[in-house]
């Protein structure tokens, strides 16, 4: 049986849904370049999960399946960051073989329920049934139905100031496994785009973290720049689901850092 349906083949990373339920610390990363080798490298590096970002990248629907195949071969759970909370988009991502979805701009419980409905088949949800890669092209449909109930992951993105007052309702929706803060959009919704040191932005992030603690749901944010010290700070603050870097920023940052060191006068 292919690795999408075989937990043992995922090695130490195991069942991501179960790990989230136990609130284990997991650290993932973002892929925005649509080449399977990039996804394969990131998956083999040891991240607990990898997000394929279709919202802010050139990754298109036709790119998703080969990227998923590369991550599947490396035993790394793959989440699709959607462009919107649309049932057709969620269905296609899941049919391609994604472990789950990361749903942008969730600000109400109704929006969270819509995402859950789009991931699961009736009677739990409203997803249409088809035979694609996730279902073993038809041969593994029954196995997929069982896998879906036990391992599909739904992460809601809290990235607007209006969502904070509804955190308890959003995270109480059955099927929501965790949350992640979109720091750029959150700060932008406050009229302070990218001002992560601003007192109001810090307070908003603290309020979201507290909402997750009340709900008993793992959450975190995306540390976009590859700054391991900052990541450590967020871990120590209590976050348990954290994104670290993105392929383009890791590549750029390492190149610039190392070239600066090489060209330094005392090198």
Of 56, 86, 160, 222, the catalytic one is 56
Q: What is the pLDDT of residue 12?
A: 55
Q: What percent of the chain has pLDDT above 70?
A: 95
* Bridge partners, residue 30, by sequence: 51, 246
Q: What is the pLDDT of residue 129?
A: 97
Tell me 13's DSSP state.
G
Confidence of residue 128 (pLDDT cuts 50, 70, 90): very high
Asked about 56 being catalytic, the answer comes back as: yes
pLDDT higher than 70, residue 135: yes
Confidence of residue 9 (pLDDT cuts 50, 70, 90): very low
Listed residue (96, 79, 95) closest to 42, CA to CA? 79
- Please give the angle made by the CA atoms of 185, 97 and 69, to the nearest 5 degrees: 95
Average model confidence (pLDDT) for the chain?
93
Q: 3-263 belongs to which CATH class? A: alpha beta
Read off the pTM.
0.92
pLDDT higher than 80, residue 192: yes
Mean pLDDT of 221-236: 93
Confidence of residue 10 (pLDDT cuts 50, 70, 90): very low
Q: What is the pLDDT of residue 267?
A: 59
Task: Judge contact between 25 and 235, C-beta under 8 A.
Answer: yes
Q: What is the pLDDT of residue 7?
A: 44
Q: What is the pLDDT of residue 265?
A: 83
pLDDT higher than 70, residue 227: yes
Distance between start and end Cα atoms, the chain: 53
- Decide: helix, strand or coil at residue 110: helix
Q: What is the pLDDT of residue 4?
A: 38
């Amino acid at each position: 049986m292919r690795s999408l349906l075989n937990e043992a083949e995922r090695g130490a990373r195991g069942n991501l849904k179960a790990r989230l339920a136990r609130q284990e610390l997991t650290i993932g990363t973002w892929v925005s370049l649509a080449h399977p080798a990039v996804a394969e490298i990131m998956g083999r590096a040891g991240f607990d999960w990898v997000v394929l970002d279709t919202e802010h990248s050139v990754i298109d629907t036709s790119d998703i399946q080969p990227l998923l195949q590369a991550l599947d071969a490396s035993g790394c759970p793959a989440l699709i960051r959607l462009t919107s909370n649309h049932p057709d988009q969620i269905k296609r991502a899941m049919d391609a073989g994604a472990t789950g979805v990361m749903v942008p701009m969730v600000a109400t419980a109704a929006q969270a329920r819509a995402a859950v409905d789009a991931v699961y088949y009736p009677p739990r949800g409203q997803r249409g049934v088809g035979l694609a890669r996730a279902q073993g092209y038809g041969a593994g449909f029954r196995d997929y139905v069982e896998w879906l109930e036990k391992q599909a992951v739904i992460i809601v993105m809290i990235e607007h100031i209006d969502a904070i007052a509804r955190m308890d309702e959003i995270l109480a929706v059955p099927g929501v496994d965790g949350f992640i803060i979109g720091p750029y959009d959150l700060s932008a919704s406050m009229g302070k785009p990218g001002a992560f040191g601003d007192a109001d932005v810090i307070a908003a992030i603290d309020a979201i973290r507290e909402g997750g603690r009340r709900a008993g749901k793992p959450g975190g944010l995306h540390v976009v720049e590859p700054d391991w010290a900052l990541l450590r700070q967020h871990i120590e603050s209590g976050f348990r689901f954290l994104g670290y870097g993105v392929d383009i920023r890791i590549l750029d940052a390492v190149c610039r850092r190392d070239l600066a060191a090489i060209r330094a006068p005392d090198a």
